[in-house]
Copies of this chain bind each other. A is one copy, B any other.
Amino acid sequence: MTTDAAHDPRAPRAAASVVHYADEADLIVVGYGAAGASCAIEAATEGAEVLVVERASAGGGTSANSGGLIYVGGGTALQSALGFEDTPEEMFKYLMAACGPGPDEKLVAPFAEHSVAHFDWLVEQGLVFKEAFFPGAHEPETDESLTYSGSEDCHPFCEIAKPAPRGHFASVMGSKGAILMKTLMASAQRRRVRVRGDTLAERLIVESDGRVVGVVVRSAGEERCLRARRGVALTSGGFIWNEEMLEQHAPWLRRCKMKVGTENDDGSGIQMGIAAGAATIRMDAADITLPVFPPVSFREGMLVNCQGQRFLNEDAYMGRWGEISLLHQDGRVWLVVDEPSFGQPKHIPDIEVVAGDSIAELEGEMGLPTGSLQQSAAFYNEHAARGEDPLFHKRAEYLRPLSQPPFGAIDLLPENSVYCAFTLGGFHIDADGRVQTPGGEAIPGLYAAGRTTSGISKQGYSSGISLGDGSFFGRRAGRAAATAPT
């Protein structure tokens, strides 16, 4: 690591060279989304003086723009009130199966074990949950507060762990992400957390022994040094808006039309940390969602590749549709429907559909090898008529022979459709949000949470995991920093 090196605009500054600190606090939090707010609240609760720097004019970030879904479970008060049984063990089993390949047990285990308490904490902050379940396969526009938000209730995950809905929303008719952030920021304000808006963090400040002791920020064109007595927490989001980082680490994401995040998700926090010796892991990983539902009748269709073969149970979570289609089929996939299963997809306004009066005709229109789709459809229909899907185990409620013309195929190539993506790679943290070096040691004074880190999901995703692990490990980071020796 090198300080203020000409070759790296994110290189840390040597504490010895700082002549004046414009401000100071026990903990400086960089970025004011759900991870940063949770970190600030918890540190303040532990008695620390907290200063948040946020490059936007006001806090909220991607969390405020999100669907507001928080992945918690294991038997929360809301799950119980609605009659859904869940345990930390089943939640752990599900996450270890669904968050891979290669989920980090050291993060997943405490996340599952303490999830019920984390839900209670969210309620304590002022979030209101309504005892109402939303049965859809997408985010509700209504005010229910619990839903299945991942792959829990479908193959193969339903055989690995007992299914339970774990997507928790604050109850509101409007923006659920905005109410989440409004509530967390109000809680932080009650705890006298100070916030500097329009303030971009540019470099960390480090002692000669490597300890992080502050941040160099830029505000209104002026550079200032801020001193952190106990630590700095980087909670400034991922890098879906940094084209160069995408090209380097996950070039396939550039094919996704919709970047989930604000333009401030440009990886600046990750770059500052790397320059101070932080390790990053699984920089290839991302949530890739293909928002085909509603209409939920699409689950009655056949998702096929360019050999006319099925490759996924169509009742899968939309994040799996996107992930499997883009990563494993190069995005060259179609959804084949018949008349009753067709509908205008709400989130993909400009769909390309080819049609035919028979599967054979459709196959020709799609340019598939003769017989390939016909064969797949015949096999599918024969079994669907019996409520069976021996290849991919789609649930019986969505199994019905595709037999009513006209038949259609929706082109789901990323270039013709809407794939939504955000990055999941970032710092390697421990369960207290301490940022690790490549050698696996904690960097003194440096903490992180949310999408600046590689959290519990290492590729496979379920909606709500980012607000879930961001707020959970944000709190842990805040507590660890507040109780760390000065």
List residues of chain A with CB under 8 Å of any chain B CB: 1-3, 5-12, 14, 100-102, 206, 208-210, 244-245, 247-249, 251-252, 270-271, 274-277, 279-284, 307, 309-311, 327-328, 369-372, 375, 379, 390-392, 428, 437-444, 458
Contacts and interface: CB of A to CB of B under 8 A. Distances in A.
Contacts of A277: 1-2, 5, 7-8, 11, 274-275
A138 to B, nearest CB: 27
A208 B9 CA distance: 15
Please name the 5 residue pairs, one residue from A and one from B, whose CB atoms are nearest each other, closest first: A102-B251, A5-B210, A2-B210, A369-B390, A7-B441
Nearest to A390: B369
Contacts of A252: 101-102
A447 to B, nearest CB: 14
Q: Which of A2, A10, A444 has the most CB atoms of chain B within a 10 A radius of its CB?
A: A2
- For the residues of A in contact with B, the DSSP-based class is loop
A251 B101 CA distance: 7
A1 B11 contact: yes
A275 B391 contact: no
Contacts of A274: 274, 277, 279, 438
Contact of A328 (B244, B310, B328): B328
15 contacts: A1-B277, A2-B209, A7-B437, A8-B437, A11-B210, A100-B251, A101-B251, A102-B252, A248-B279, A248-B282, A248-B428, A275-B437, A307-B391, A327-B328, A375-B379
B248 A281 contact: yes
B370 A390 contact: yes
Q: Which of A280, A392, A444 has the most CB atoms of chain B within a 10 A radius of its CB?
A: A280
A2 B282 CA distance: 24
A3 to B, nearest CB: 5
Nearest to A443: B7
Number of this chain's copies in the complex: 2
Given A252-B102, A439-B10, A1 B372 contact: no
B439 A2 contact: no
Given A282-B249, A371-B379, A391-B369, A3 B1 contact: yes
A6 B210 contact: yes
A2 B273 CA distance: 12
A270 B437 CA distance: 12
A363 to B, nearest CB: 11
Nearest to A437: B8
Contacts of A248: 279, 281-282, 428
A446 to B, nearest CB: 10
A209 B370 CA distance: 65
Given A281-B249, A282-B284, A283-B283, A244 B5 contact: no
A99 to B, nearest CB: 12
A245 B252 CA distance: 23
A208 B2 contact: yes
Contacts of A309: 307, 309
B12 A1 contact: yes
A475 to B, nearest CB: 24
